[in-house]
Amino acid sequence: MSYLDFLAEHGGRYIDGTLITAAQFLLAAVLAILLALIAGLMKLSANPIAKGVAVTYIEFFRGTSLLVQLFWLFFVLPLFGITFDKFTTGFIAVGLNLGAYGAELVRGAIQSVPKGQWEASYALSMSPATQMRRIILPQAFVAMLPPWGNLIIELLKGTALVSLIAVSDLMFEARQINGSTYLSAQAFGTALVIYYVFARLLVTPFMRWLERTMRRRMGRA
Amino acid sequence: MLDWRWDFTFEIMPRMLWATLNTLMAAGIGYAIAIVLGLVLALAQRTPYRPLTFVVREAVEFIRSTPLVLQIFFVFYVGPQYGVTLSPWVAGMIAIGLHYAAYLSEVYRGGIESVPKGQWEACTALNMSTAQTYFRIIIPQALPLSVAGMGNYLVGIFKDTPMLSVIGVAELMHAANAIGGQHYRYLEPYTIVGVVFLLISLPSAGLIRAFEAWVRRKLGMS
């Protein structure tokens, strides 16, 4: 069977899988960005409880593996009476995990905003919320975009693990096709190429575009 | 509701601790492969042969932007298709070693590029061969600059070893899956896995930071 025949026969399943992977990726990315922002700000908070919660969240999710967290959410959470379907569990686990890494990027970027900016906004008697929203966060956002580009690729790679709780993403379809055809090089190779194209031709150019646009809007182009 | 059983916890503990050793061994072997292979990948990108540089550069990008778990499956299943059967351990070590070699090659590359230009010029002036330049002058200076990145990936490789369970490497996650399947109890095994990972990775992250500071102090860099 030539590779073209292989693609003609199984191409539809790869497309279905890619769509599920894309959905997992987008949902997990939104969750990770929200969590990173909240936990990053909480870690800088003067309130010891808020800070403690953020540090615990960050250290816990960075200290254990995504796969362990995924299985724990999937198998153990139902024992607490909380049951999500596997699709939801998948992107929640990926989002929680990468959000913890992102929180450190948010914290680092906020701390890298020059002290004069804080003092100037204080001198203009801005409220802490306005100061954060109008002055600090926009500058921190520009500073943290490059490392976020790497993190988003890690997030995309992380979504492959949801296949292990039987979410029918790209990785899952590749395993199914491998199981029914025994054409491992084609089955897994095609999936590898799709992940690569997704990362290099969609995600990375988008992040570069965002970096350029944001720098320009901040007058730093 | 939740019923944590201590007797069951103690019953499975020896097996979990034994599997922890396998996890540590997998991380150690994988890291050893990655350290050496990463250097080869980094140096190959600095040769004057354009096609080689291009191929290695793209290969590194490819490995870095595709999921490790898929690479593990690929290495494990593609061999038998062409008559080469790899054991789970061998396939797993190749996959994880290669994956982290790609990451480490970027760390080395950063280290090599931050060695001042004068060092290279001095080597040329002293008529040193390329091999001498790299192994006696450049790499000894680039390695300390790479320590921070290398440490992060040591913890990273350790945290990625659970993925080896998918092809049947008998590490911690594999043991937890097996115990869960046998006893229909997942709470204790998976929680133990999480706790073991926290207990190992948090202190080692601290140790690595201390080691990094020590290296910098020893070399008078800070």
Domains in chain A, CATH or no CATH each: 3-217 (1.10.3720.10)
DSSP states of A43-77 as a string?
A: HH-S-HHHHHHHHHHHHHHHHS-HHHHHHIIIIIG
Q: Where are the strands (E) in A18-148, listed by range?
A: none
Enter the pTM of the model.
0.91
B131 in contact with A, Cβ within 8 Å: no
| B contact test, residue of A14, A18, A24, A75 with most B CBs within 10 A | A75
Q: Are B174 and B19 in contact (CB under 8 A)?
A: yes
Q: From the DSSP assignment, how many helices (H) and strands (E) are in chain A?
A: 10, 0
ipTM surpasses 0.85? yes
Which residues from A are below 8 Å from B when comparing CB atoms? 59-60, 62-69, 71-72, 75-76, 79-81, 153, 156-161, 163-164, 171, 174-175, 178, 182-185, 188-189, 191-192, 195-196, 199-200, 204
* B94 has pLDDT over 90: yes
Going along chain B from its start, the domains and CATH numbers come out as: 6-218 (1.10.3720.10)
| B contact test, residue of A89, A152, A184, A207 with most B CBs within 10 A | A184
Average pLDDT score over chain A: 93
**Using the beta-carbon criterion (under 8 Å), do B70 and A192 form an inter-chain contact?**
yes
Average pLDDT over residues B82-98: 94
- Using CA coordinates, name the residue in chain A closest to B65: A196
Residue B1: band (very low, low, confident or very high) from pLDDT cuts 50, 70, 90: low
**Using the beta-carbon criterion (under 8 Å), do B80 and A158 form an inter-chain contact?**
no
C-alpha distances (whole Å) from A126 to each of A111, A114, A116, A122, B179 are 19, 17, 14, 6, 58
**Using the beta-carbon criterion (under 8 Å), do B65 and A157 form an inter-chain contact?**
yes
The tens digit of pLDDT for each residue in B19-32 reads: 999 999 999 999 99
Q: Point out the least confidently predicted range of A110-119, A161-170, B141-150.
A: B141-150
What's the rounded Cα separation, in Å, for the pair B134 and B141?
Answer: 10
Residues in chain A: 221
Nearest to A32 by CA among A107, A104, A92: A92
